[in-house]
Amino acid sequence: MTRVRVLMSLAAIAVAIGLWFALTAPPDALQGDYARLLGIHPPSMWLAFLAFGVTAFGSIMWLIKKTDRWDRLASASVEIGLIFTAIGLFTGMVWGQAVWGTPWDWQDPRLMSTAVMFFVYLGYMALRNAIDDPAVRARRSAILGAIAVVQVPLVYFSVNLFRTLHQTQSIRPDGSTMPDEMLTAMLVNMVAFTILYIALMTARLDVAKVEAEAEPQTSLAGDAVRPPRLNEVEDV
């Protein structure tokens, strides 16, 4: 618990510093204060990509090692990734309404691929909740977690691959298209969100570990009251 509190405190300080950078950067000549959403929209999506990447890593490691900790890592990271994808979508819609005149375009590859990614990982959570057997749950979700990550590069590069309302990458190999103040605000917030991810993951893994320790007791109680299965009825 102490480690979680220390990390949460560090994350709170980092996010506060990031917020200060975002709010003190000069407003954009065209977008005004909406440009300040750079402090939350790209960092949220960066964190979602990171989280889903960690899920894929945990899933692949589970398929190799078959140990519970990798399953816990993968599922914990999906939960956090979903929250930050939701924030990325929400902040993007607010920004879109301001600069495109519409919060959503059903034909936009970046928007649609992000929404599909969100619902696939929501499906991952539904899959986990639908399976009672821990070993089956871990195997099926590991397969999905390892495959679903292909969407991350697809979402990221969709702005280059297709014609889209969304702008292309602001940071490219040949430099940045943003003023230095905005770029700094975005990068500071990306670092702050990475610290926040570490803190939230530590807290989430702590919960998962304690719940896993309590699980045998719970399933024993559940076994005592569950209805007989079909094959058991046939045996009788």
Partner 1 sequence: MSDTIVVAGTYLISYGLILGYAVYLHIRRRRAGNPRG
Q: Which range binds partner 1 by CB under 8 A, 51-59, 121-129, 141-149, 197-205?
A: 197-205
Please pick, from the candidates 15, 51, 138, 146, the single residue that binds partner 1 as defined by CB under 8 A.
Answer: 15
Q: What are phi and psi of 171, to 5 degrees?
A: -110, 115
Q: What are phi and psi of 176, to 5 degrees?
A: -105, 150
Q: Which range binds partner 1 by CB under 8 A, 14-22, 102-110, 114-122, 166-174?
A: 14-22
CA 230 to each of CA 167, 219, 223, 227, 234: distance values in angstroms, whole numbers, following the listed order: 56, 19, 15, 9, 6
Q: What is the DSSP secondary structure assignment for residue 172, as one 8-state letter?
A: E
Nearer to partner 1, 12 or 178 (CB): 12
Amino acid at 91: T
Measured CA to CA, the distance from residue 189 to residue 195 in angstroms comes to: 10
Binding-site size, partner 1 (CB under 8 A): 30
Please pick, from the candidates 10, 17, 19, 115, the single residue that binds partner 1 as defined by CB under 8 A.
Answer: 19
**Residue 180: CA atoms inside 13 Å, Cβ hemisphere, count?**
0
Nearest in space to 117 (alpha carbons), one of 60, 76, 158: 158
Please pick, from the candidates 8, 127, 131, 154, the single residue that binds partner 1 as defined by CB under 8 A.
Answer: 8
List the beta bridge partners of residue 175. 172
Nearer to partner 1, 154 or 212 (CB): 212
Asked whether position 150 contacts partner 1 by CB under 8 A, the answer is no
Minimum CB distance to partner 1, residue 158 (Å): 23
95: its two tokens:
């920004």
Contact 80, 88 (CB under 8 A): no
Using CB under 8 A as the binding rule, the residues of this chain from 67 to 106 that contact partner 1 are 80, 83, 86-87, 90-91, 94, 98
Nearer to partner 1, 56 or 196 (CB): 196
Asked whether position 191 contacts partner 1 by CB under 8 A, the answer is no
Nearer to partner 1, 3 or 172 (CB): 3
Nearer to partner 1, 32 or 123 (CB): 32
Asked whether position 207 contacts partner 1 by CB under 8 A, the answer is yes
| Vertex 65 angle, CA 64 and 68, to 5° | 125
How many helices and strands in the chain, by DSSP H and E?
8, 2
Residues found near partner 1 in the complex (CB under 8 A):
1, 8, 15, 19, 22, 32-34, 36-37, 39-40, 44, 80, 83, 86-87, 90-91, 94, 98, 196, 200, 203-204, 206-207, 210-211, 214
